[in-house]
Chain A
Amino acid sequence: MFEFCLPAILGGKCIPSAALFGQLLIGLINGSFYALLSLGLAVIFGMLNIINFAHGAQYMLGAFTAYLLLQLTGLGYWPALVIAPIVVGITGIIVERTMLQWLYKLDHLYGLLLTFGIALILEGVVRNKYGSAGLPYTLPDSLRGGQNLGFMFLPNYRAWVIGASLVVCFGTWFIIERTRLGAYLRAATENPTLVRAFGINVPRMITLTYGFGVALAAFAGVMAAPIYNVSPQMGSELIIVVFAVVVIGGMGSILGAIFTGFGLGVIEGLTKVFFPEASNTVIFVIMAIVLLVRPAGLFGRRA
């Protein structure tokens, strides 16, 4: 059997190449969560110039909504995958209409502080009601089991996660970069007054965009519910990493968010094999290096 070894300078640890393939695939799967979450953040920042710190809490709300749908109405995973993003997206729209819309003209810091406050409140309220230990949510029966790929056992659910994430990510990219609606949106970001003069309702479009970004977070939350612990703090644990992903990719760059999300998932996965203790710092090391070399991020347009 072939072995893959690190250079001696990095410790020289070896693993069988089959195991390496497995770890690469796992990294891609985790990367698809990063991509989904950073995509929402990038859309919101790119279109609204708001740093949405409530993104983690909205991801958590998505998972909790899925749990509540199951408990209260008996609706399982598949309906939740559609309903939870809509419900949480609507709460996002309410937040945008009542609070965020007054902050666009101010410094980024105000939006960041407001959304950070919202995140803390949401997390506190959910913890007060449901406790800190978490809630059970099991795999949908249709996605139980898995495939033996020879080099690893791939659970069906993970295969679904990577597929769904790819479709959603590139679908979003296509809408914003390649359709008429996306063109309006990008134009509205550049020059809202002019776009308004053409008879387009810019504030409504911005509101819907925020709602869409929030819905993406909730979608990721539902995807996470069967495999990660559904707890009030599930979002705050992830959000810092996702912010790093967005910064590395270039704030507001959609393609950047997607590629960096997947790429960093792979790098983190490899770190878990060779230097497990460093696995939650490696992304920040990369972020520091990228910021030194390319301050606008890998895919950022403006320097």
Chain B
Amino acid sequence: MKRLFLGAAALAALVLVGGAQAQQPINVKIGIITDMSSLYADIAGPGSVAAARLAIADFKKLHPNVNVEILVGDHLNKPDVGTQLANQFIDVDKVDMLIDTPNSGVALAISQVAANKNVIYIVSGAAASDLTGPKCNANTIHWTYDTWMLANGTGSALVKTGGTSWFFLTSDYAFGHALERDTMAVVKASGGNVIGAVRHPLNTNDFSSFLLQAQASKAKVIGLANAGGDTINSIKQAAEFGIVAGGQSLAGLLVFASDVNALGLKTAQGLVLTESWYWDMNDANREWKKRWDAERKDPSKLPTMIHAGVYSAILHYLKAVVAEGGAKDGKTMVAKMKSMPTDDILFGKGTIDPNGRKRHPAYLLEVKKPDESKYPGDIYKVRATIPADQAFRPAKDSGCPLVN
């Protein structure tokens, strides 16, 4: 665990400049609970810390009286470790807010801790839509994306373009089941049908047996309701078995820019997927990526939507802190954040639903062919923009008790 203090020299300079304004100093402590060392370290992890630093630096330009300290904890993808970290951050380190957490299992556990101890918790990294569904609470905001958004974006788009019959390869745990359930619902609602599904254990190395079953099903679309290494292995081996060449198409239901990098464009080309942010979409994002690169100090990495979400969420939180005149308890801060419209350079204008669901547009993307990619990181074509009001589940359908 690292304590990251902002440079003392920079602080001194800001005190000199800001002194004339004679504003009350506001101190805020943020705990980032993420995966620093394992399979989700590239989609969140150190990149999320870099994004948090950028948000704080940008906010301090406007509000030099706000001092933010960041603490980082590694949850090792274990719900018990995540819960213990959250407790320690809240009880011992007295943090005002917790953020990030790739891994739905860990995020659901921390969400409970945040509610019990009345601290605000913003999820950028995890996917399960249950966080704003039956398991929602008044202390949690789900920021960047969720399984409903992924299913809705990719599922309905593919059914509309002729992918009317589906076969699922599903990761056999909470996240995979949620993604499969949400996507099946969308496929059926859009007029498609589900032919079959096979559940594979988490971290499966060889998918050839499952792919043969999918191939034999003659379904037009093979939906990959899995993530990370499992998705990469499925896609790599699907190419080998000539699945796409044989006329079936693959739907990556949760694919990050870093996964596309791991596959290479030659293998991943043509894959359709949904994300809520892509670095190369406009000048503001490209400009932000340069600053993120400088902070991340690893030219081989790409910023993901989770990183952008951490940036955007911290900015909005700090705005609410200033509006409240200081970092208050979790329920107060969440209520304040819900009452204010969101606005930042990465996601544009947005809102937060009563169930804690942050709402912004999502993008249907297609992986470029190798000869279409002009520079490293040039990986997606934007096929469609899904407006904010359609991109996420309507609050009234969420089953969240906070919605009346």
Q: Which residues of A contact B (CB under 8 A)?
A: 16, 19, 22-23, 26-27, 29-30, 33, 124, 127, 130-139, 145-146, 152-153, 155, 157-158, 226-231, 233-234, 237-238, 269, 272-273, 276-277, 279-281
Contacts and interface: CB of A to CB of B under 8 A. Distances in A.
Contact of A272 (B37, B209, B261, B266): B209
Contacts of B200: 272, 276, 279
Given A133-B43, A155-B241, A276-B199, A237 B205 contact: yes
A180 B188 CA distance: 68
The contact size tier of chain B is 35 or more
A136 B261 contact: yes
B172 interface: yes
A237 B228 CA distance: 14
A196 B157 CA distance: 73
Interface stretch (B140-148, B232-240, B310-318, B393-401): B232-240
Contact of B261 (A23, A133, A145, A226): A133
Interface string B177-212: 000000000000000000000111101111011101
B199 to A, nearest CB: 5
A226 B266 CA distance: 12
Closest 8 CB pairs of A and B: A136-B264, A134-B262, A272-B209, A133-B258, A133-B42, A280-B201, A229-B232, A132-B41
Contacts of A234: 205, 229
A153 to B, nearest CB: 6
B206 A228 contact: yes
Given A131-B300, A146-B242, A269-B209, A233 B201 contact: no
Contacts of B41: 127, 131-132
18 contacts: A29-B208, A33-B206, A124-B37, A132-B37, A132-B38, A133-B256, A133-B261, A136-B267, A146-B240, A226-B240, A228-B233, A231-B262, A233-B229, A237-B205, A237-B229, A272-B209, A279-B200, A279-B201
B240 A134 contact: no
Given A135-B262, A158-B208, A228 B199 contact: no
B323 to A, nearest CB: 38
B4 to A, nearest CB: 18
A26 B229 contact: no
A136 B209 contact: no
Nearest to B213: A273
A135 B241 CA distance: 20
B40 interface: yes
For A26, A138, A146, A229, the residue with the greatest tally of chain B CB atoms inside 10 Å of its CB is A229
B216 interface: yes
A29 to B, nearest CB: 7
For B198, B209, B264, the residue with the greatest tally of chain A CB atoms inside 10 Å of its CB is B209
Contacts of A22: 212
B65 interface: no
A131 B37 CA distance: 9
A279 B213 contact: no
A48 to B, nearest CB: 27
Nearest to B35: A132
Given A30-B206, A138-B264, A280-B204, A131 B240 contact: no
Contact of A157 (B210, B215, B240): B240
Interface in B35-77: 37-43, 45
A152 B43 CA distance: 36
A132 B39 contact: yes
B373 to A, nearest CB: 13
Interface string B373-385: 0000000000000
B169 to A, nearest CB: 10
Contacts of B208: 26, 29-30, 158
A126 to B, nearest CB: 12
Given A132-B39, A276-B199, A155 B206 contact: no
A167 B388 CA distance: 58
Contact of A134 (B206, B232, B242, B298): B232
A6 B386 CA distance: 47
A132 B263 contact: no
Nearest to B235: A229
A229 B298 CA distance: 21
A21 to B, nearest CB: 11
B37 A227 contact: no
A249 B41 CA distance: 37
B267 A19 contact: no
B372 to A, nearest CB: 17
Interface in B211-262: 212-213, 215-216, 228-229, 232-233, 236-237, 240-242, 246, 256, 258-259, 261-262
For A26, A124, A272, the residue with the greatest tally of chain B CB atoms inside 10 Å of its CB is A272
A130 B42 CA distance: 10
A134 B233 CA distance: 10
A280 B208 CA distance: 14
B301 interface: yes
For B215, B241, B301, the residue with the greatest tally of chain A CB atoms inside 10 Å of its CB is B241
A146 B241 contact: yes
Contacts of A155: 240-242
A199 to B, nearest CB: 46
A136 B263 contact: yes
B71 to A, nearest CB: 21
Contacts of A237: 203, 205, 229
Contacts of A145: 242
Nearest to A238: B205
Given A23-B209, A233-B229, A136 B203 contact: no
Contact of A229 (B201, B210, B262): B262
